Structure 1
């Protein structure tokens, strides 16, 4: 399984950053019944600069419940469709071409917008090792792992879940 490839033909034995290329055909994917996550570049491959993955959500697919990160910004770029997003205490709908940057400590959540599919590029900066977290999410969604493992990993993956009455109400309206 190849998740990324350094573009330099010869790698000098230094800490210099090198370009990262992830070929679509070689990228690892994590799928569950309503979404597919394509793992593009994890923190180890970018010297901690960023982590990136792409998620495609089926119509009506849940994304992530309300949560925040303490160390990283989370960037969203909507490639296609529409994404419903909680940012703090506001719910917004992002459409194709929209970009959102959520700073650390800001509660946020996301799901495919009502009646829509969504194709979204996610970037965390600085990077954090998230691919094991995404793999765990896929296993939980497929019923292969206990959801308690997600709660137990909150510090390791800097993913802290919170209650959001605003987000719960938005999901109820869109159901």
Structure 2
């Protein structure tokens, strides 16, 4: 990690967008390179009722979610919690979590992972999986690389 990261500005038009089914999308904002590993940041928009991810945990990083629109449902150590627009969720290392948009309508959140791990390739692959262009087994060898460790099955709600 660099000891002297510099200020970072990412303009909306410069953020990479990864399309997801039903009009969902990742907006990739910072892959931890420009911040010297301090953090990674992205936005995720999901259509009504869509899962964002299946249950997993991070061994190394804390993840912060700020709900920008709609209602997100978070599974946090087995407890399902609805979080409305403006709400904040902080998930420390080791805490199993999953999330998705409520069935009531689309939702969007801003996420920060700290310390940052270069994960844009991970989000691109998730987009390919969600669009049916790759299978979940394509991630089997990458759990440690991206500090994403799945727990339980794909169905959680």
**Candidates 118, 121, 139, aligned match of 1:129:** 118
Q: Unaligned 5+ residue runs, structure 2? A: none
The structure carrying a bigger helix percent of its residues is 1
**Candidates 61, 64, 73, aligned match of 1:84:** 73
Deviation at 1:164? 6.5
Deviation at 1:83? 0.2
After TM superposition, which residue ranges in structure 1, 4 or more long, deviate above 4 angstroms? none
**Which whole-Å CA distance do the structure 1 matches of 2:105 and 2:135 have between them?**
29
Q: RCO higher in 1 or 2 (8 Å CA, sep ≥ 6)?
A: 2
**Which whole-Å CA distance do the structure 1 matches of 2:3 and 2:37 have between them?**
12
**Which whole-Å CA distance do the structure 1 matches of 2:30 and 2:133 have between them?**
25
**Which whole-Å CA distance do the structure 1 matches of 2:151 and 2:13 have between them?**
36
Residue 4 of structure 2 is aligned to residue 16 of structure 1:
yes
Map 1:14-53 to 2 at 5 A.
Answer: 16-34=4-22, 35-53=24-42
**Which whole-Å CA distance do the structure 1 matches of 2:85 and 2:92 have between them?**
21
**Candidates 94, 109, 134, aligned match of 2:83:** 94
Alpha-carbon spacing, 1:143–1:23, altered in 2? closer, same or farther (3 Å): same
- RMSD of aligned residue pairs (Cα, Å): 1.7
Size of the alignment, in residue pairs? 155
**Which whole-Å CA distance do the structure 1 matches of 2:153 and 2:21 have between them?**
25
Spell out, residue by residue over 1:84-138, the C-alpha distance to the aligned partner (whole angstroms, 9 max, x if none).
Answer: 0011121100101000100000000000012221110010001011111000101
State the match for 2:103 in structure 1.
Answer: 114
Q: Unaligned 5+ residue runs, structure 1? A: 1-13
**Which whole-Å CA distance do the structure 2 matches of 1:42 and 1:109 have between them?**
21
- Report the structure number with the largest CA radius of gyration: 1
TM-score, reference length from structure 2: 0.93
Q: SS in structure 2 opposite 1:46?
A: coil
